[in-house]
Amino acid sequence: MMHEQDLQELAELASSDAPVLSLYLNVDPHRRSTEEHKLSLRGLLAQAADQGAANADIERVERFFDHEYTRQGRGIACFSLQKGGFWRSYPLLVPVNDFVFVGQRPYVKPLSDLWDNYERFGVIIVDREGARAIIYHLGALEDSAGTLGNEVKRHKQGGWAAQKLQRHEDEEAKHNFKDAAVWAGEYLRQHNVKRVVLSGSEDNRAQFYDLLPRPFQDKVIGHISLDMNASPAEVWEHAFAVAQAAQQEAEIALLERVVTAAHKGGTAAIGLADTLAALQQGRIHQLLVDSNLHATGYQCTNCRAIIVADVLACPYCGGKLTATGDVVNLAVHAAMEAGLKVSMLDPGPLLAQTGGIAAVLRY
């Protein structure tokens, strides 16, 4: 499984004397057969040769799929720079679109897209006796745990004694909810979970939510109604749909605010040229990018500025410019190296108004 440090390593890799070969292949058995993905691989490697990939890098990819590929995952990402002794391959638990790119930097935009769409989130399933937590990351089960309080029974018999006993059981349930809320809050903090889906009956969810610390209430993005015995696969199927819908809604709302702020001259940038200028100036807080956006341009060999204007020298330092096949990929690299959040958005009318890229600015 790919980890955050792996993505950071790719974001920081740069080669000035030989190109890096980046290849993504869809190997999802539900979408294509082995022969189909082998045929697609041959086509991608032919494209890589046309783009100027080194023979050693093409051969390294071929050797991986012929002798090392274990048929794990639904997608594969490979990065090769044999001249620099660099090779990485990652099985991905979610499918990717076939793509190949040859350039001075690894092509990380699809990975950033996966990281954004399949960001870590947790599910807390609650009942009157305890709670169960499940954490997913990049489409995979990352961790799970649970806590169990005192047994709680529901009494159906009538009468004063039964009512008194029922009040006692309700107090036991409330105590269990309190303990479970404290446990869940600490568990989520330890695992750096920032988005949570609650599951259980409506009454149990409401009681549990009210007892959560306010910072963790703010992390709750939706709910489902599965019980404690639901399998991790069943929980994922229902909870991911809720998490993805909440994320898309939040991203659309953020994009609307960015467009409004940019038109009013506020702390926002829209369009490729203005966004790249803000990136060079260190003003960006969050980058919003159309996942399908590509654009050619230039990069300064001295200050590393990324430029789309057709100029003879770097407008920032006067340095030499080199052509690049995709300035958007370089912008994602630069943002990730700087520790900025990068959100890859699905194409849409509002995003099209921005030219496919926008940013929330610091100032």
Q: In angstroms, rounded to a whole number, what is the distance separating the alpha carbons of residues 31 and 26?
A: 8
pLDDT of residue 95: 87
- What are the Cα distances from residue 152, in Å, to 42, 126, 149, 173, 175? 61, 13, 9, 6, 11
pLDDT in tens, 335-348: 999 999 999 999 99
Q: In angstroms, rounded to a whole number, what is the distance separating the alpha carbons of residues 220 and 217?
A: 6
Q: In angstroms, rounded to a whole number, what is the distance separating the alpha carbons of residues 92 and 26?
A: 9
pLDDT in tens, 166-208: 564 677 878 899 999 999 999 999 999 999 999 999 999 999 9
pLDDT of residue 360: 98
Other CB atoms within a 10 A radius of the CB of residue 35 amount to 8
Q: Where in the chain is the domain with CATH 3.30.420.60?
A: 121-247
Average pLDDT, the chain: 92
pLDDT of residue 89: 96
Q: In angstroms, rounded to a whole number, what is the distance separating the alpha carbons of residues 119 and 174?
A: 32
pLDDT of residue 38: 94
Q: Are 24 and 96 in contact (CB under 8 A)?
A: yes
- pLDDT category at 300 given cuts 50, 70, 90 is very high
State yes or no: pLDDT of 283 exceeds 60: yes
- What are the Cα distances from residue 297, in Å, to 94, 200, 219, 222, 328? 31, 52, 40, 42, 9
Q: Where in the chain is the domain with CATH 3.30.1330.30?
A: 267-361
311 CB-near residues (< 8 Å, 6+ apart): 298, 321
Q: In angstroms, rounded to a whole number, what is the distance separating the alpha carbons of residues 263 and 60?
A: 49
Amino acid in the structure at residue 148: L
CATH fold label, 121-247: Nucleotidyltransferase; domain 5 (3.30.420)
pLDDT in tens, 22-79: 999 999 998 899 999 999 999 999 999 999 999 999 999 999 999 999 888 899 999 9
CATH of domain 4-107: 3.30.960.10
Q: In angstroms, rounded to a whole number, what is the distance separating the alpha carbons of residues 213 and 200?
A: 19
Q: Where in the chain is the domain with CATH 3.30.960.10?
A: 4-107
As to burial, measured by CB atoms within 10 angstroms (0-12 exposed, 13-18 middle, 19+ buried), residue 191 is middle
- Structure tokens given for 330: 């370089």
Q: Provide the residue count of the chain.
A: 363
Q: In angstroms, rounded to a whole number, what is the distance separating the alpha carbons of residues 214 and 145?
A: 22
pLDDT of residue 159: 47
Q: Are 316 and 303 in contact (CB under 8 A)?
A: yes
pLDDT of residue 320: 95
pLDDT in tens, 230-261: 999 999 999 999 999 999 999 999 999 999 99
Angle at CA of residue 357, ends 352 and 360, nearest 5° = 120
CATH of domain 267-361: 3.30.1330.30
pLDDT in tens, 152-171: 555 455 544 455 555 646 77
pLDDT, greater one: 112 or 168: 112
Average of per-residue pLDDT across 289-306: 95
97 CB-near residues (< 8 Å, 6+ apart): 24, 26, 110
pLDDT of residue 166: 53
pLDDT of residue 175: 87
Which helix (H) or strand (E) segment holds residue 49: the answer is helix 34-50
pLDDT of residue 160: 47
pLDDT of residue 150: 65
- Structure tokens given for 309: 């204007």
pLDDT of residue 163: 56
